[in-house]
Structure 1
């Protein structure tokens, strides 16, 4: 059934990830998720050198945290992580958890904040994450590889970064890989659900901010030379709603049809939350997937 044929109640159920977890109740799975991410971030802040609250723009919410490995190498890989929370929840203070295994491998991790709703709207959030990437590239000129990682709403924002027309910016970031985890790539269905109450998106806003509708732009490069191949992994948890799986599959197919270097992964025995929580553990399947994207497996 296409989402346009669903009753509001069913559409909201499909787009409520916490209701599809097999581990615990909807409320408990969210509480547990926040706890894992917060504790992981606190641990990363103890383990790594950090630069916290680095501004990338003028706005109060336009800040990022940097987790630095104790390597003397100038040739570093850098991962920019964009948090989820349905564009209205969580922050960079729950976004450093993946640095726990990555700094050990000599990887710099940057956790980005953006103005969540109701303060921020969709156009602003997309603009902010794009500007954060430009700022990182300008500040870290010796990056050997720039990678994106986003979860849920953050996967949507990371996909929007991939579809940026960089000719409007001061630099063209050479993004070598993107790890998109349990994302929403067509946000039009969200307009009709409770999720949109703080976002207040119109259909027009949703269409222009839907990565699935912007796939042709991914081939753009501001120079005449083709952009370097960017390896995109579209990952989704096994225990997610049918709509969630459909979102990932359709985006994956659109990228593949455009001739892009993309793979799809259904991560077994995970739900919408545990799939990203696995990044706390260096031995987990999901961490190994991310390292593979970075050529570090």
Structure 2
């Protein structure tokens, strides 16, 4: 096979340690800066937007979501569902509203989804939770005019798993018109051989069952998929994004690959708090064209 299978354990750890690849800051500092930037952006959005916070979509402590509404939700509105990263182990919906203000100002509602992170959360359960959160939003808000998924890193993986959902089991048919997958992991097998799996405790079977790359469904024709990757993501993250995008395209999906210059694994998503940022504009254009 070649590729990651030929790497030493140390090389593989390095490839799947996004904080080691940023030219801006050292490994610990970049993670801390990311926590601070996303938390501060979320606080600002909660202060300035109309919100419904801590809405339970299930019975679990973390099965809650925050909704940021446009100033004038005139009956119907497009909804962006944001799924946070943190390597399935950290972050929460409380750092996931930072992208809301540029979107709500243009009439788009944003839902930030919480889910159980490891070690208490298991991969099967996380995938089930994000799927249930989408079903819940569809049932709760009759005025949704198209759903757009957006996930970062581990959240891009979870958003991609939402794309492969058999919705007949959920009793709803969400009108998913777009997905923006940012710096994601789409094949979990390499993760099994890194420190990341110390907390996740995935078996090979669990990794295969929850790898979007292995569960590409026939194309939903109305759905646009944007696979975005940062210049300063590791080669493995970049490879995963490229190969997943190609596999979706081969299955008939409408896919764009966006390679963003001058950003790393962290600020590629943090900058969604800025209306002028290229990825913010791409998302707004995707929604306005639908």
Q: TM-score, normalised by structure 1?
A: 0.95
Deviation at 1:72, TM superposition (A): 4.2
Paired position in structure 1 for 2:161? 160
- Taking structure 2 as the reference length, the TM-score comes to 0.98
Q: CA deviation at 1:235?
A: 0.2
Once residues 221 and 258 of structure 2 are traced to their aligned partners in structure 1, the CA distance between those partners, rounded to angstroms, is 23
Q: 1:10 is matched with which residue? A: 11
* Equivalent residue runs for 1:11-160 within 5 Å: 11-160=12-161
Give the structure 2 partner of residue 267 of structure 1.
Answer: 260
1:219-234 aligned at under 5 Å gives the runs 219=219, 227-234=220-227
Q: Deviations over 1:146-192 (max 9, x none)?
A: 11000000000000000001111110111000000000000110011
Deviation per residue, 1:181-227 (Å, 9 max, x gap): 00000011001100000100001100010001111x244xxxxxxx4
**C-alpha separation in 1, matches of 2:269 and 2:73:** 29
The CA distance in 2 between the partners of 1:132 and 1:87, in whole Å, is: 16
Aligned residue for 1:224?
none
Map of 2:279 onto structure 1: 286
Q: Distance in 1 between matches of 2:222 and 2:104?
A: 25
Structure 2 contact 228–241 (Cα < 8 Å) conserved: yes
The answer for unaligned runs of 5 or more in structure 2 is: none
Question: Which residue of the other structure, out of 244, 249, 253, is the alignment partner of 2:242?
Answer: 249
- CA apart distance, 1:70: 0.9
User: Corresponding residue for 2:230?
Assistant: 237
Distance 1:94 1:156 in 2: 18
CA distance in 2, matches of 1:163, 1:296: 23
- The alignment of Structure 1 onto Structure 2 pairs a total of residues equal to 289
2:179 alignment partner, SS class: strand
In 1, are the aligned partners of 2:148 and 2:179 still within 8 Å (CA)?
yes
What is the deviation of 1:74? 1.2
Alpha-carbon spacing, 1:250–1:285, altered in 2? closer, same or farther (3 Å): same
Give the deviation of 1:295 after TM superposition: 2.2
Q: Given the alignment of the two structures, is residue 186 of structure 1 paired with residue 200 of structure 2, yes or no?
A: no
Q: 1:72 to 1:63 in 2, by over 3 A?
A: closer
| Deviations 1:50-92 (CA, angstroms, capped at 9, x unpaired) | 1111000111110000111111411201100000000000000
Whether the aligned pair in 2 keeps the contact of 1:55 and 1:64 (CA below 8 Å) is yes
Runs of 4 or more consecutive aligned structure 1 residues displaced over 2 Å after TM superposition: none
